[in-house]
Chain A
């Protein structure tokens, strides 16, 4: 049976990966993008995800793991549906990044790398996300929220709660 028919990924992602491994002078260059895109779809790098990516690239699952553990965005257990990443690095810290982080901790009842019981939110204190001039800044999944105040924290959580209720 071919890799494609055995895939644990959606047909769209599977097709994307088929193309991705042909794009570079060396197949292996597709590894990091594949890990991230797979995580976007599956939620985390499960054993099955790692096995299939290893097979598609033609390296061992151990080799994949060795690379994946290096990158801070890649994870090996599920995060919340909405992963709240609060930057507390210098530019954000000077403009209240820790207060924002504290407010999220308090509202969600979880700490760094925690996940809420309903699985809706997870929280992370992260390093510089490249929004220093619009600090303090956070990312929820890939969306940026700039120039935040503590007062906006509730509204942001509400925005994602209603997005979830809307089935999106």
Chain B
């Protein structure tokens, strides 16, 4: 069972029921569960969307799109059925927050799905979990069955005339399926390749119907937003970044774990106070602020508030909230190689710039790290990455290119130290091989 952590600076909203046995429906109800869904049912779609807009909640999957606005894009009238799709394909390296939500508070996801359904007028919601999360899928399936048994799901939810069904779906191993259009393809029983946009899912989505796709953390936050009121939730965070975020501290950190902190919380404090500093009292070398696809930050760049806008201004992204801390004993070329190996492995191959780009980057970095690099390689790596940007259907190409550019720009010296047949100055694991 993954360890839960705690820190006095935390504001526990989404995590408020963690460790309290809320996967059991009775406990969830004792802790105020399903009150927001009932209220949403009574108040109606317009009220829900207004509260969501007031909350300033932005998508927790990584893109940070305002949730209320996303819901408002769904057409009121539709010839085809509308759907809610919860993205629990959590696969971004450095990210394990949804893991804890499914484990400790699955009903919050179900309740949020119901509310999203009421907001857009959908009768069916899907909760898609990555296949590796089998034990969590079982927990969520149990919770869904319990919600059906109580009449919270079904033809007449909470004794009303409104219908809402929830279907839990398993994936079978694919990072790319975390991208919303690939997720829909996968749910339709196909290879997880992305669709071109427009049309956006809110207009033409799952089975051709209007679809709202939200990250599991976003959805689990929704009942709390309605319970405390949109404005009160917004007040917790920073400007235009409502509420809290589940930050996952990992890597060379003294106290790794998932911490719920207000949006805009200082990255420096997050590392040195909440996380207890760099492991073993070592020096900080770099931080990946929001999952492996976000450009790396240097120690002198960590005096920023962790919200979408401030991290964006610093030249990176808040992404999935997975903060990976890297100490001074780490070879950044190896780190870059491991990162690009991942994207090479996960590229679906649909768009050539991504398929070929990730492959050539991996080949170049492998050779480079092994000591067979040339001066020109450093520029070529950068050139390759630059030419992947914005040239693919989905953001995976960018997700591979952006961190690579960051590593080359910010650690050029370290790349140069690998030149002329010199062995890796850090003499770590010599190879990264993943077939």
Contact = CB atoms under 8 A, between A and B. Distances in A.
Interface string B108-142: 00000000000000001000001111110000000
Interface stretch (A1-9, A132-140, A149-157, A160-168): A132-140
A57 B96 CA distance: 34
A142 B134 contact: yes
Interface of B: 2-3, 81, 90-96, 98-99, 124, 130-135, 167, 169-175, 186-192, 207, 248-252, 256-258, 288, 292, 322, 324, 326, 330, 335, 338-339, 342, 345-346, 348, 429, 432-435
A23 interface: yes
Contact of B135 (A23, A30, A35, A142): A142
A90 B341 CA distance: 10
A133 B2 contact: yes
A93 B186 CA distance: 29
User: Sorted from nearest, which 4 A-B pairs have the closest CB atoms?
Assistant: A73-B173, A28-B189, A31-B189, A72-B173
- With a 10 A CB-CB cut-off, give which of A26, A127, A129, A139 has the most chain B CB atoms: A127
Interface in A61-84: 66-67, 70-74
Contact of B339 (A73, A90, A147): A90
A94 B330 contact: yes
A74 B173 CA distance: 8
Given A67-B189, A94-B252, A36 B131 contact: yes
A97 B330 CA distance: 14
Given A29-B188, A73-B172, A89-B292, A130 B250 contact: no
For this complex, into which size category does the number of interface residues on chain A fall?
A: 35 or more
B361 to A, nearest CB: 16
B339 A127 contact: no
A70 B342 contact: no
Contact of B251 (A28, A95, A143): A95
Contacts of B258: 133
Interface string A21-45: 0011110111111011000000000
Contact of A29 (B187, B322, B326): B187
Contacts of B190: 28, 67
Given A74-B173, A90-B93, 16 more contacts: A25-B124, A26-B207, A32-B170, A32-B186, A33-B170, A72-B173, A89-B93, A112-B433, A112-B434, A127-B342, A128-B92, A130-B96, A131-B2, A133-B248, A135-B251, A142-B135
- With a 10 A CB-CB cut-off, give which of A36, A91, A139, A143 has the most chain B CB atoms: A91
A146 interface: yes
A25 B125 CA distance: 12
Contact of B174 (A33, A70, A130): A70
Contact of A133 (B186, B207, B256): B256
B39 to A, nearest CB: 29
Contacts of B81: 25
A88 B292 CA distance: 13
Contacts of B171: 32, 71
A52 interface: no
Contacts of B257: 133
Contact of A90 (B98, B251, B345, B348): B251
B93 A127 contact: yes
Contacts of A55: none
Contacts of A67: 189-191
